[in-house]
Structure 1
Amino acid sequence: MNARQKNLVTLLATAVVAGGLGLYAYFGVMKPQAERPPAPESPGALFPTDSPEAPGTDGGTPAAPVFTSISIEHPHARVELELRDGTWRITSPVSALAERKQVLSLIDELSGAKFTGTVTDKPTDEELERFGLKPPQATVSARAYVPDAQGGGAQDASRQRSVTFHLGVENVFDGSVYVRREGDPHVYLASGALRVLLLNDTSAWRSHEVFTVEESSLLRIELKGPKDTVVLERATTDKPWQMARPTVMRADSKRVARIFSDLKLYKALGFPEPEWEPQVVRALEKPAVEATLVPKIGGPLRIQLVSLRVGGFERTFARTEGMAEPVLAQVDPNTLNVLSPPPLDFKSKKVLEMQTGAVEKLVIHPGGRGEPITLERTQEDGRWEVRSPVVGRARQFKVASLLNSLEKLEAEAVVATGAKLAARHGITDSSRGVTLMDGTGQVIARLWIGNPVPDNDRRTWGRGSSEDIYELSTAALEALPLSLEELLEK
């Protein structure tokens, strides 16, 4: 046999072997898994709601089962879920609130899941292995009761139902999944969505809510950060917040409320691995940021935050105590900033401390050498009159609009504190502005309007009832009726 003949024989042998392997792969592996199974004689439910001993619906539409416990076990996780007092909880391997939406999605799937086909009623061990049922990909046990016509029956043993089933691999023909119920020799096919839900790890079933406290329930807030400690207090929950430390002043209630609205945006990114937990707990003994919250009812609530390197990465962890559900979780590093804002952030941005009803006299300062405009409310009929630089009746709705706008005027930002710093912002005794007085001529409040903020034509420096220097909205100031033409009735 020459070399050419040898090559030809080798080529033919290789082709035969390859063909054989291809036929084995198709007929031995792919084809059995991809075959469309015959339709069952009658569509069956994965979780039966009826039984000969205790019919659930007397021949009508089956009643939806009310699930009370579900356990899921697969190679990567084992989790037990239980409904307690209307709330789903994880009872093993940890004790924690369950992710409600995740559990409800599973319940919807279990309640409505029907077998789409029967593969075989006498599977061999080889078939069970091929279908991923020996060993199974996951084992699920669920317990529920089927309500009676009045929606009751939870305590009726005859209405209790339970089922255990095993989950196999995906059927590559249509994406369905192989299923086998305990005590039932059949192998069925069911919706593939069930497989996606059931193969989650334990953390996916845990609630990722970490910061659930409501600002409206608190009377005291203490925030300890790397640089400052801020203490905010109020006498009752309907009173405005006051800063007690590092200085005493009224606090911006909107800024206080924003702490808690921002916190709710930060969910748990995950939960510490068991081998990390001792290291994380030790680090939390000296937290980088700590918040102590005192509610109107109940004991203090604590939030502690720390950053440390575990698992090869820098991570931030939060621990909550005293709340309905204590939590130890990994969170976004920005959570540290939410709970350690600088004290200046809490300065009230309300520019003038005043009530429109107490104002009896207005002096508008046009700035520079312009002549002031003086208005007074008459004692006879309570109407506003212009007293200088001319005398005449004022446009009542314009004066009311001015007073309302001044009462509601809020700064865009607090930039500095101290009367000595006012001049460098263009704020002097000759600045534009308004002085508001009571009936005795006592000054209630004074607005000074300074220079435009450099490189920001939308803002103007100003000062109000306190020594704070503000950035004010230029548009809001320009909208104030401060000219004689606008105020004097023609």
Structure 2
Amino acid sequence: MNVQQKNLVTLLAVTLVAGGLGLYAYFGVVQPEQKEAQRKAAEEKVFAVQTPEEPGTDGGAPPEPVFTWISVEVPQGKTVMELKDDTWRITAPVSARADKGEVSTLISQLAAAKFKATLEEHPTDADLERYGLKQPRATITARAYVPDAEGHGADDPARQRSMTVYLGAENNFDGSVYVRREGDARVYTAQGGLRFLLLKHTNEWRDRVAFPVEEPSLLRIDVKARKNAYMLERTTTGKPWQLERPVELHAATEQVAKMVSTLHGYRALSFPEPKQEEKVRQALLEKPLVQATFVPKLGGPVRVRLTELELDGLKQAFALTEWDSESMLSQVDGLALDVLDLAPKDFKDRKALAFSVRDVHRIVIHPAAPGGETISVVLAPDTGKWEMASPLVGNARQFKVASLLGSLEKLEASAIGETRPKSWGKYGISDTSRGVTLQDAEGTEVARLWLGTPVKGNPQRLWARGSSEDVLEVEKSTLDALPLALTELMDGAPAAAGTP
């Protein structure tokens, strides 16, 4: 054997020894330490639904369990909740949707709850009485499954787990709670986060979304309220709303969205007691003050009824909402009765002018006083920049002109008055009224804003006329902020130049 062969053999021997030492270090030291750490972590958990021997999906800790069934029994009663089609539902003592946030918090508490200390290995009846565990303050039973590497296991009996935990009195010293587990005689103290379970009854686990409607998904809204009845419709989502009755007009999407969003925001304050439920339901079916049907693009309609009823000497508002196979009877804020009670004019678009900025090539500002100078700003076709045309010729301040057009495009009325008045003159509006005219490249009028006299009883507003035939009320402060003066629009305008 030559020197080169001897060196190769030596290298192989060293490599094998190093590999053997590495394997020993991993299997003899590291892996046992990992298993011991996992075993301790499992023992510390209140809801230990998995064992340290279960392999992790990434070679580390075992996967977190997926809870599918929870029973909470407290002095106020027993509530059973089950995960069905990815949705948590209360199955006893009533059938109703469970509050997603409340259940998520409960699951987080169950998954994270750990023992702080072991107090008694073999407690006596006196010990259990002292810790409030002789007759537990709460009993929690949870079922879960441990998912495999692909996340499956819901139907695999070998992966199913069940655990029952008993909660006792609160430890006033540190806010922890005394705990026992089914099949385990010991008494522990656990983190105090589980204490909130002792205070909840079934209704507090229920979903409180009384009106599950959202404007983007709707195609039709049919309402009959105390003062008004109407129907809104559109061909598809994303298209503008049309008021179909009692009159036909284009409805402002923002107003419809605001109405639906406001209704959606009202939550159930409480749920009628069983002895009152029949009376409330009968009043809603026989004498509703508001009836509404919301038809979404997908799924069945959502039907809503609201009424007001005196119970126990107090006037209260109730709602009955039905959709698909769901039904919710709840007490709501009395203000919800007025959310849908809108007149046709309430759906009108409050934008004063209907135009697109890109179509405007000339801006004409009409003077406030007779004999005043008219200001004209034009878009130069060769440079694409705004230029002053009258009463002086020069460069316009591009930012100011853009700001003026943007403000006019967004200008909204604070209120809408009568439609097609017989006389605009009583509002101080005529062909010579001060205001702004917008024209296209051919000189055709795109939009015009006429400004009139102050609104009677509200001098902070002015009467105005815009693209519609409605009398508008516009905030004076908003108009005063518009750059309508020559000194604001013209670059280097003389300081003595008048204002319109």
Please give the TM-score of this superposition, normalised by the length of structure 2.
0.78
Corresponding residue for residue 277 of structure 2: 277
Segments of structure 1 that go 5 or more residues without pairing to the other structure are 1-39
Partner secondary structure for residue 431 of structure 1: coil
Corresponding residue for residue 465 of structure 1: 467
Partner secondary structure for residue 341 of structure 1: coil
Counterparts of 1:250 and 1:282 in 2: how far apart (Å)? 37
Cα distance change, pair 149–335 in 1 and its aligned pair in 2 (3 A): same
Corresponding residue for residue 54 of structure 2: 55
Corresponding residue for residue 410 of structure 2: 408
Counterparts of 2:353 and 2:185 in 1: how far apart (Å)? 80
Segments of structure 2 that go 5 or more residues without pairing to the other structure are 1-39, 494-500
Corresponding residue for residue 12 of structure 1: none
Corresponding residue for residue 291 of structure 1: 292
| Cα-Cα RMSD | 3.4
Cα distance change, pair 487–74 in 1 and its aligned pair in 2 (3 A): closer
Structure 2 letter corresponding to 1:355 = S
Counterparts of 1:447 and 1:384 in 2: how far apart (Å)? 20
Cα distance change, pair 428–190 in 1 and its aligned pair in 2 (3 A): same
Counterparts of 2:381 and 2:207 in 1: how far apart (Å)? 66
Counterparts of 1:429 and 1:315 in 2: how far apart (Å)? 54
Structure 2 letter corresponding to 1:283 = A
Identity in percent: 50
Cα distance change, pair 117–420 in 1 and its aligned pair in 2 (3 A): same
1:409-431 CA deviation, whole Å, 9 max, x = no partner?
22122244342363333223332
Corresponding residue for residue 145 of structure 2: 145
Mean Cα deviation higher: 423-432 or 390-399: 390-399
Superposed displacement of residue 444, structure 1:
4.2
1:91-116 CA deviation, whole Å, 9 max, x = no partner?
11122221122222222222222233
Cα distance change, pair 77–443 in 1 and its aligned pair in 2 (3 A): same
Cα distance change, pair 391–110 in 1 and its aligned pair in 2 (3 A): closer
1:49 touches 1:64 (CA, 8 Å); kept in 2?
Answer: no
Alignment of 1:9-408 (within 5 A): 44-51=44-51, 55=54, 61=61, 63-148=63-148, 151-285=151-285, 286-322=287-323, 325-359=326-360, 363-370=364-371, 373=374, 375=376, 381=382, 392=393, 395=396, 397=398, 402-408=404-410
Superposed displacement of residue 451, structure 1:
2.0
Counterparts of 2:313 and 2:370 in 1: how far apart (Å)? 69
Cα distance change, pair 432–154 in 1 and its aligned pair in 2 (3 A): same
Counterparts of 1:239 and 1:353 in 2: how far apart (Å)? 17
Counterparts of 1:379 and 1:149 in 2: how far apart (Å)? 67
Cα distance change, pair 152–386 in 1 and its aligned pair in 2 (3 A): closer
Superposed displacement of residue 453, structure 1:
3.9
Partner secondary structure for residue 128 of structure 2: helix
Count of residues in correspondence between the two structures? 448
Corresponding residue for residue 34 of structure 2: none
Cα distance change, pair 372–177 in 1 and its aligned pair in 2 (3 A): same
1:56 touches 1:159 (CA, 8 Å); kept in 2?
Answer: no
Cα distance change, pair 323–442 in 1 and its aligned pair in 2 (3 A): farther
1:343-393 CA deviation, whole Å, 9 max, x = no partner?
3322211112233455566554314422573759699758878777x6856
Counterparts of 1:187 and 1:396 in 2: how far apart (Å)? 80
1:265-299 CA deviation, whole Å, 9 max, x = no partner?
21111111111111111111121112222222333
Cα distance change, pair 124–352 in 1 and its aligned pair in 2 (3 A): same
Corresponding residue for residue 30 of structure 1: none
